Amino acid sequence: MNLIIDVGNTNVKLAVFKQNVLIHKCEVTLDNILISVNNLKKEFKDLKQAIIASVGNLKKSDVNYIKKHFKLIILNSSTKVPFQNYYKTPKTLGVDRIALVAASVYKYKKQNVLIIDAGTCITYDFINNKNQYLGGAISPGIRVRYLSLNNFTENLPLLERKAADNITGSSTTESIHSGIINGILCEIDGVIHQYKQKYKDLTVILTGGDADFLSKRLKSSIFANSNFLLEGLNFILEFNSN
């Protein structure tokens, strides 16, 4: 059994896989990670190996503790992965993006796949049917766009995410929702359209915290999978265990 540890800036996602099946998932704060790991170790006696993907600040002491109790892989640019990486600056490629590409290799072998991760940032990652990762794009996510309008203007309020009922906002609040949400939807649909012009047999995956919200509103045909990153991390762990 495998323990998957996905460390964000404030929270940590923990998952347990039995072979390739996700059997447990939870989200905890950074401060509670060791308590939660210990609880999982007690609940799942066969947990033997683990992988950490961290874009946040995981304490060295926490990593050392986990290393004592598991056969541990810390995902980085040097980790063996199941695809050819053609990114020109591989050391700057986020571990979350590496995991997402690995998931596409596992789920959609020898296909042209565009993975869209809608979280703090919206990332686009493309791997072709020759198993070559070519790169992608990074743009601000929904929350970042709301924050930026509030932070960099004098009078625009900070709003919570909300579907835009109308393309034409009849108030400042409605105009902000329309600009941000419709703007992101047009961006994503536009990027998908550009890729489909070049790759007719394109498979599109949407994942991340805002995936469910966006998937209902996109015009393009996509597969939404909120566990895609966790599945990719598990695949990398299995790939390095064989």
In a domain, 238, yes or no: no
Q: What is the largest CA-CA distance in the chain?
A: 59
Domain with 154 in it: 84-233
| Residue-wise pLDDT tens digits, 5-39 | 999 877 899 999 998 999 999 999 988 999 999 99
- Give catalytic residues, as residue numbers: 96
What is the per-residue pLDDT for 155?
94
Q: What contacts 124, CB < 8 A, 6 or more positions away?
A: 114, 115, 116, 136, 137, 138, 191
Q: Does the pLDDT value for residue 50 go beyond 90?
A: yes
In a domain, 213, yes or no: yes
Domain assignment present for residue 79? The answer is no
As a whole number, mean pLDDT of residues 51-77 equals 92
Residue 239 is assigned to a structural domain of this protein = no
Structure pTM? Answer: 0.93
Give how many domains the chain has, as a whole number: 2
Q: Is residue 138 domain-shared with residue 200, that is, in the same domain?
A: yes
Q: Within 13 Å of residue 12, how many CA atoms lie on the same side as its CB?
A: 25
Mean pLDDT of 207-219: 93
Given 74, 101, 122, the domain boundary residue is: 74
Residue-level pLDDT at 201: 94
Strand 203-207 and strand 223-224: pairing? parallel
Determine, yes or no, domain membership for 183.
yes
Same domain, yes or no: 136 and 57? no
Could you tell me what percent of the chain has a pLDDT over 70? 100
79-88 confidence digits (pLDDT tens): 999 999 999 9
pLDDT of residue 56 exceeding 80, the answer is: no
The yes-or-no verdict on residue 55 having pLDDT over 90 is no
The answer, yes or no, to whether residue 96 has pLDDT greater than 80, is: yes
Looking at residue 58, its pLDDT comes to: 86
- Are 31 and 10 a contacting pair, CB within 8 Å? no
Can you tell me the mean pLDDT for 53-62? 87
How do residues 111-137 score in pLDDT, each as one tens digit?
999 999 999 999 999 999 999 999 999
Note whether residue 240 is domain-resident. Answer: no
Q: How far apart are CA 238 and CA 242, in angstroms?
A: 7
Query: What is the rounded average pLDDT for all residues in the chain?
Result: 95
Instruction: Tell me what pLDDT residue 165 has.
Output: 84
Distance (Å, whole) CA 202 – CA 49:
34
Q: Are residues 49 and 94 in the same domain?
A: no
Residue 242 belongs to a domain: no
**Of 22, 45, 74, the domain-final residue:** 74
Give dist(CA 194, CA 223) in Å, integer.
18
Q: Do 167 and 139 lie in a common domain?
A: yes
Per-residue confidence (pLDDT) for residue 9, from 0 to 100:
72
User: Same domain for 107 and 197?
Assistant: yes
Do 68 and 92 share a domain, yes or no?
no
